[in-house]
Amino acid sequence: MNYLEKFRPQYHYSPERNWMNDPNGMVYYEGEYHLFYQHTPFATQPDFQRMHWGHAVSSDLVYWEELPPALPPGEDGAIFSGSAVVDKHNTSGFFDEEGSGLVAIYTNNDNKVQADKPQVQSIAYSKDNGRTWTKYGGNPVLFPGTTIDFRDPKVFWHEETSKWIMSLAVQDRIEFYTSSNLKEWTFASAFGADAVGTHRGIYECPDLFSINVDGDPNKKKWVLILSVGDCNGVNPNDPEPPAGGSGMLYFVGGFDGKTFISDEPVDSIDDLKWIDFGSDFYAAVTWSNMPEGAGRRLWLGWMNNWRYAGLLPTSQWRGSMSMPRELKLKTYPEGLRLVQEPIKEFNGIRSTLATLENVTIEPDMNPLVDITVDKAELIAEFEIGTATEFGFKVRKSADEETVIGFDSIEMELFVDRTNSGITNFHPDFAAKHRAPLDLSGNRVRISIYIDWSSIEVFGDDGTVVISDTIFPAPESNGLELYAVGGHIKLVSLHINEMESIWRMSDKVKEEAHADRGH
């Protein structure tokens, strides 16, 4: 097994084999970042009756080591999405005199014990850095009222009230619960049932966290994240996410330990703030217990969309994660907006392939004609000229290309994967995904991350993001810089090759290189 199969992401996490969806239980603890995830370890399709928590660890968020699945299903049901916390003060009593440990809080789906309550919340604890887990004898710790959809607990310690807070997705709302010991939970409040335009799908995978405003540690706001599913919503007339299927929203506001209040009320669909304008970024939640002082808020998402998740044209595994990204909240003329950028740790796996500066690009010239890349970072800055559209064509061959461009008439950044490779596994896959990008001056910055089956595009330093999977032929590795209808000035362009994160012997690496025609 060398992680060289067709379409295997080379610097994005995917399980060695079988199905993966949401990231779960992300926590930093004793020098390791944990990434748990929804995993069916015996099949490349999801099994919602036998979902496990898969597990991987990393010391730097770049290189990952896959460990055996952490939480298996049983009579208590499948292990659905949830979170993990470090119980520093042993509030749970699980850790006796041994100090702190990890507690996982997750949904049991389809449990056999209370058949009339298909989704309940349970906990498990680990005294050995997440390697083995004990399910709490008093599970489940939280039962639903009347709704069937009652899941995806994300828990954090709220210093101000000395309580654990759980955000939970409950069909058309996020409910907040509080606890002093992780075992007994009290309902506090609900958010979102009246948020206009958000109910085409049910809510899933919430996350509530505080974050510095404009990097100022003395100025904080609360951000509520949620994912909106592709079906079973309460209002089928509500809009789809920008790229269709399942997608993610956020709200900025205040939280007093019980109630979240959005600063900008959601009275119309124009008030909705979408996280990503591509099709493939879902169920993202943030790492808890980040190292002190760093003030960083990091997350990653599942690079897939429930509309076609089970149909991706891979065989040994199905599903991959986005790059870990750093979240920031920045002030713009229109208000506070969430900004995402790949974590700086990726600088360690890039090497310069080419640099261009101050080149005027006219129609029908391609200064990158001699460059081939299949996993790379492109960092570009343009000065708008007379061109009506410009950008890059990547993973290109005679009959395939993925276009990443800026439409200077509509002022939109876009990814067009209509002709990106294999697209016929679902009628909605071949599409152009657009994101509005208002330029403050006449310059636009675009960073692009290309891998064997994905594209992540960050416009104006992460102000807008488009994340899309693609399935090009391995030999589609051409690159083009193009302008349409006039010229454009390329102020600077850095093209960096990205190394594979899968540690391989030099021999395997050499063979892979030869196989791929380098």
Q: Which residues bind ligand FRU (CB under 6 A)?
A: 21-22, 38, 51, 80-81, 107, 151-152, 204-205, 283
Residue 86: C-alpha distances to residues 90, 105, 162, 324, 357 (Å): 9, 11, 14, 21, 48
Nearest CB to ligand FRU, comparing residues 40 and 453:
40
Amino acid at 473: A
Nearest CB to ligand FRU, comparing residues 242 and 247:
247
User: From CA 84, how far away is CA 26, in angstroms rounded?
Assistant: 6
**Tokens found for residue 352:** 């310069």
Q: How far is the CB of 274 from ligand FRU (least distance, A)?
A: 17
Enumerate the β-bridge partners of residue 317: 18
Q: How far is the CB of 344 from ligand FRU (least distance, A)?
A: 28
DSSP 500: P
Q: b vs e for 339-373, b when ≥16 Cβ sit within 10 Å of the residue's Cβ?
A: bbbbbebbeebbeebbebeeeebeeeeeebeebbb
Find tokens 């999977």 and name the residue: 469
Nearest CB to ligand FRU, comparing residues 170 and 481:
170
Length of the chain: 518
User: From CA 416, how far away is CA 405, in angstroms rounded?
Assistant: 8
The 10 Å Cβ neighbour count of residue 127 is: 17
Find tokens 């590795």 and name the residue: 477
Q: Tell me which of 22, 172, 230, 276 is the catalytic residue.
A: 22
Q: b vs e for 164-187, b when ≥16 Cβ sit within 10 Å of the residue's Cβ?
A: bbbbbbbbbbbbbbbbeebbebee
Q: How far is the CB of 508 from ligand FRU (least distance, A)?
A: 33
User: From CA 113, how far away is CA 133, in angstroms rounded?
Assistant: 21
Nearest CB to ligand FRU, comparing residues 13 and 452:
13
Q: How far is the CB of 153 from ligand FRU (least distance, A)?
A: 10
Nearest CB to ligand FRU, comparing residues 39 and 489:
39
Residue 447: C-alpha distances to residues 81, 425, 459 (Å): 31, 28, 7
**Tokens found for residue 118:** 């298909």
Q: How far is the CB of 19 from ligand FRU (least distance, A)?
A: 9
Q: How far is the CB of 229 from ligand FRU (least distance, A)?
A: 6
Nearest CB to ligand FRU, comparing residues 231 and 269:
231
Nearest CB to ligand FRU, comparing residues 175 and 204:
204
355-493-276-499 Cα dihedral, nearest 10 degrees? 0
Q: How far is the CB of 234 from ligand FRU (least distance, A)?
A: 16
Residue 428 is among the residues annotated as catalytic for this protein: no
CA angle 416, 406, 389 (to 5 degrees): 95
Annotated catalytic residues are 22
